């Protein structure tokens, strides 16, 4: 219980959404409240030349989307908050799914115009499976969108989660006048074209007070009274235990770009969001208050600083105290490693830290020791479980356009595929390089980064494969025979493991049926 005060100070959460719902803009506003940045940059803005702090790669700034998870740490109201901004695009869902293993709670952003979208559903399935507490922020209330009650009903039905509205909007679109905070009994008034500030806050203990009618007009005041009465009658008080168990999601309405409704949500988050929670491992549950350090790698990013060609492994501290320059045990390789310059992050900016506690995300300089899912401890041997790996669904051959840059290309392919969003295969018995991904956009990003960060120009040609399966067999001869017969479809992954690249579902099922002694695995199972 030595570190209990440090543990209780920390809140670690991820922001997730469908693309363009306003997730990265909301992240900026959080940082603004935490005093971490002075001016918030919108992702798409003609007037503001500043880009979002959390969009750290050049391609993110060009396209106005996030393609990698970024980590930011800031202080707010006496708490240390570790915020992870995730990619919204479905092609980068793997990165997001892994990030969800490293956080204790989630803020889900929903666009009031579009409502629940495809990627939101996929993300919520993962969250429900892990019983992660969720807060919902319904964004873009200053645009003409869906009716507030229709939105609540849609979210409940589509995402299979109970809701508890904490604020209530007054109209939407051009008629949007503000939000009423049911917990604080206060009204935040909205004026188009301005940012929210304390002057716009109006304490209204009694909704029947005539001040309300003066401020928003009699008709809207009456509607708000009815709305609040209905909400309080249906939902009552928020039961925090139900939120912590993932059954109920508190809901806030607002406009991230106008900084509206954000503070209400941040204040509630600080009040109710969980502190670091226990984690499952292969041997036992690890509690954060344990004295001995443990943590796992959930993300690797190459060239965070293009000038230095660095590779950073992101470590989530799960128990004990992490100390700079101390030797720790790397379970997979059975080696002891020391980290002289561990970092904390504000997106691209990083500073060296001396120690870290459960909930913190630490950047470790990586020379190629780490893989996603690796566990680091103070000597005990176990692996943290639940870190997903995926089987690729799209495959392309990498053609080198400049033979003089072969070395740079090989280095680039190895480093970029270590990040976990793409997998690298080499044709069995040959040297054809094949990349497998879950989505098309990943190939564009890899091609762009190979050129920009490694100077390697490549062409990517489609291959007619449908699925990658990793092969194991207790009878070595049967495995060798299979590899010999199917040579055109056999490759090796980076670790030298045999992989069967199936042309179609029918081919795959036929091979599984015809080769009962061979096991076909759909993931490379991170824990080897």
Mean pLDDT, rounded, for 372-386: 89
pLDDT tens per residue across span 67-119 = 445 778 888 888 999 888 776 555 555 667 778 888 999 999 999 888 888 87
Which pLDDT score, from 0 to 100, does residue 378 have? 92
- In angstroms, the CA 225 to CA 206 distance is 10
- 96 and 236: one domain? yes
Alpha helix stretches (DSSP H) within 202-276: 210-216, 218-235, 240-244, 262-272
pLDDT digits (tens, 9 = 90+) for 394-428: 899 999 998 888 888 888 888 877 777 788 899 88
What is the reported pLDDT for 388? 66
pLDDT band with cut points at 50, 70 and 90 for residue 43: very low
Number of domains in the chain: 3
pLDDT at 232: 85
Residue 356 and residue 416 in one domain: no
| Mean pLDDT of the region 157-176 | 88
CATH number of the structural domain spanning residue 516? 3.30.70.3280
Domain boundary, last residue among 243, 272, 301 = 272
Does some domain include residue 173? yes
- Would 527 be classed as within a structural domain? no
Query: Does residue 60 sit in the same domain as residue 165?
Result: yes
Q: Whole-angstrom Cα distance, residue 422 to residue 433?
A: 13
Question: How much is the pLDDT for 100?
Answer: 84
pLDDT band at 233 (very low <50, low <70, confident <90, very high): confident
| pLDDT digit string, tens, across residues 185-214 | 878 887 765 555 555 567 777 777 777 788
| Same-domain pairing of 246 and 360 | no
CA distances from 118 to 43, 304, 344 (A): 21, 30, 33
DSSP at 260: B
The number of CA neighbours under 13 Å toward the Cβ of 513 is: 6
Inter-residue long-range contacts of 125-132, CB under 8 Å, 24+ positions, other chains counted: 126/97, 126/100, 127/16, 127/100, 127/246, 128/160, 128/161, 128/246, 130/100, 130/101, 130/246, 130/386, 131/245, 131/246, 132/100, 132/103, 132/104, 132/105, 132/106, 132/246
User: In the structure, how many helices (H) and strands (E) does the chain have?
Assistant: 14, 31
**Is 198 domain-assigned?**
no
| Share above pLDDT 90 across residues of the chain, in percent, rounded to a whole number | 32
Residue 468's contacts (CB-CB under 8 Å, 6 or more residues apart) are 391, 392, 395, 423, 425, 436, 491, 499, 500, 501, 502
Say which residues have a Cβ less than 8 Å from residue 262's Cβ, sequence separation at least 6.
26, 29, 30, 33, 137, 196, 254, 256
pLDDT confidence tier of residue 499, bands split at 50, 70 and 90: very high
Please indicate, yes or no, whether residues 369 and 344 belong to a single structural domain of this protein: yes
User: What is the pLDDT at residue 49?
Assistant: 37
Tell me, yes or no, whether 224 lies in a domain. no
Q: Which of 84-93, 253-262, 281-290 has the highest mean pLDDT?
A: 281-290
pLDDT at 289: 93
For residues 21-30, average pLDDT: 82
Enumerate the β-bridge partners of residue 70. 85
How far apart CA 480 and CA 468 sit, in angstroms, is 18
**Mean pLDDT, rounded, for 463-486:** 91
Separation between Cα atoms, residue 327 and residue 511, nearest integer Å: 47
Domain boundary among 345, 377, 409: 377
**Range in 330-334, 347-351, 359-363, 393-397 the model is least confident about:** 347-351
| In-domain check, residue 152 | yes
Domain shared by 310 and 266, yes or no: no
Maximum CA extent, the chain: 87
d(CA 95, CA 87) in angstroms, rounded, equals 7
- Residue of 211 and 465 predicted with greater confidence: 465
Q: DSSP state, 200?
A: G
Q: pLDDT band for 10, please (50, 70, 90 cuts).
A: very high
Judged by DSSP in three states, 116 sits in: coil
Residue 471: band (very low, low, confident or very high) from pLDDT cuts 50, 70, 90:
very high
* Local structure of residue 42 (DSSP, 8 states): P
pLDDT of residue 338: 92
pLDDT given at position 511:
92
Domain extent, residue 248, equals: 4-183+231-272
Strand duo 311-319 + 294-302: pairing: antiparallel
Residue-averaged pLDDT of the chain: 82
> Which of residues 348 and 253 earns the better pLDDT score?
253
Q: Are residues 337 and 365 in the same domain?
A: yes
If asked whether residues 336 and 399 sit together in one domain, one would say: no
357-361, 378-382, 493-497: which has the minimum mean pLDDT? Answer: 493-497
- pLDDT of residue 219 exceeding 90, the answer is no
**Same structural domain for residues 289 and 163?**
no
pLDDT average, residue stretch 306-313: 69
Confidence tier at 40 by pLDDT (50, 70, 90): very low
Contacting residues for 263 by C-beta, under 8 A, at least 6 apart: 33, 196
Calculated CA dihedral for residues 258, 262, 264, 270, nearest 10 degrees: -160
Which residue did the predictor score with more confidence, 294 or 189? Answer: 294
Residue 446: helix, strand or coil by DSSP?
Answer: helix
Q: Is the pLDDT of residue 294 over 90?
A: yes
pLDDT of residue 277: 92
Per mean pLDDT, which range of 67-71, 134-138, 229-233, 299-303 is the poorest? 67-71
Q: Of 343, 377, 411, at which residue does a domain stop?
A: 377
Query: Do residues 266 and 295 share a domain?
Result: no
Q: What is the pLDDT of residue 434?
A: 92
Residues 237 and 334 in one domain: no
Residues 148, 54: one domain? yes
Task: Confirm whether 221 is domain-assigned.
Answer: no
3-state secondary structure of 443: helix
pTM, rounded to two decimals: 0.77
Instruction: Tell me the CATH number at 79.
Output: 3.40.50.300
Number of residues in the chain: 528
The conformation of residue 21, written as its DSSP 8-state character, comes to: S
Q: Is 9 within the bounds of a domain?
A: yes
Residue range 160-174: average pLDDT? 88
pLDDT at 346: 64
Q: How far apart are CA 210 and CA 193, in angstroms?
A: 27
Question: What percentage of the chain reaches a pLDDT higher than 70?
Answer: 85
Q: Is 58 a residue whose pLDDT tops 70?
A: no
In a domain, residue 170? The reply is yes
């Amino acid at each position: 219980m030595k570190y209990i005060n440090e543990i209780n100070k920390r809140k670690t959460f991820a922001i997730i959404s469908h693309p363009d719902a306003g997730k990265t803009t909301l992240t900026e506003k959080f940082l603004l409240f935490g005093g971490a940045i002075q001016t918030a940059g919108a992702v798409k803005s003609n007037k503001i030349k500043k880009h979002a702090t959390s969009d750290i790669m050049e391609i993110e700034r060009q396209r106005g989307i996030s393609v990698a998870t970024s980590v930011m740490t800031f202080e707010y109201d006496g708490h240390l908050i570790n915020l992870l901004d995730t990619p919204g695009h479905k092609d980068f869902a793997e990165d997001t799914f892994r990030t969800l293993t490293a956080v204790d709670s989630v803020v889900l952003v929903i666009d009031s115009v579009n409502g629940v979208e495809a990627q939101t559903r996929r993300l919520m399935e993962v969250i429900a499976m892990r019983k992660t507490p969720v807060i919902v922020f319904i964004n873009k209330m200053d645009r003409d969108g869906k009716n507030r009650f229709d939105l609540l009903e849609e979210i409940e039905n589509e995402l299979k989660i109970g809701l508890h509205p904490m604020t209530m909007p007054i109209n939407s679109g051009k008629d949007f006048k503000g939000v009423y905070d049911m917990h604080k009994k206060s009204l935040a008034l909205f004026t188009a074209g301005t940012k929210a500030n304390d002057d716009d806050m109006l304490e209204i203990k009694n909704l029947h007070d005539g001040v309300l009618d003066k401020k928003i007009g009699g008709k809207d005041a009456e509607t708000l009274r009815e709305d609040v009465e209905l909400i309080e009658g249906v939902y009552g008080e928020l039961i925090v235990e139900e939120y912590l168990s993932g059954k109920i999601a508190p809901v806030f309405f607002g406009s991230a770009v106008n900084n509206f409704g954000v503070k209400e949500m941040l204040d509630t988050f600080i009040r109710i969001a969980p502190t670091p929670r226990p984690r499952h491992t292969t041997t036992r549950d690890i509690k954060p208050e344990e004295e001995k350090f443990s943590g796992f790698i959930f993300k690797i990013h190459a060239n965070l600083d293009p000038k230095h060609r660095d590779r950073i492994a992101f470590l989530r501290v799960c128990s004990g105290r992490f100390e700079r320059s101390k030797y720790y045990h790397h379970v997979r390789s059975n080696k002891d490693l020391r980290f002289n310059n561990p970092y904390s992050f504000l997106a691209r900016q990083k500073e060296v830290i001396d120690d870290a506690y459960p909930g913190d995300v630490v950047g470790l300089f990586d020379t190629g020791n780490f893989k996603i899912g690796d566990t680091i401890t103070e000597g005990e041997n176990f692996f943290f479980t639940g870190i997903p790996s995926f089987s690729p669904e799209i495959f392309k051959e990498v053609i080198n356009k400049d033979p003089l840059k072969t070395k740079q290309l090989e280095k680039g392919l190895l480093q970029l595929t270590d990040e976990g969003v793409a997998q690298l295969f080499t044709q069995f018995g040959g040297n054809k390089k094949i990349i497998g991904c879950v989505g098309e956009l990943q190939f564009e990003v890899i091609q762009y980064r190979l050129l920009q960060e490694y100077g390697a120009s490549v062409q990517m040609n489609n291959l007619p494969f449908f699925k990658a399966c990793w092969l194991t067999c207790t009878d070595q001869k049967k495995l060798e025979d299979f590899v010999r017969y199917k040579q055109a479809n056999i490759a090796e992954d980076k670790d030298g493991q045999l992989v069967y690249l199936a042309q179609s579902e029918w081919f795959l099922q036929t091979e599984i049926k015809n080769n009962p002694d061979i096991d076909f695995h759909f993931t490379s199972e991170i824990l080897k």
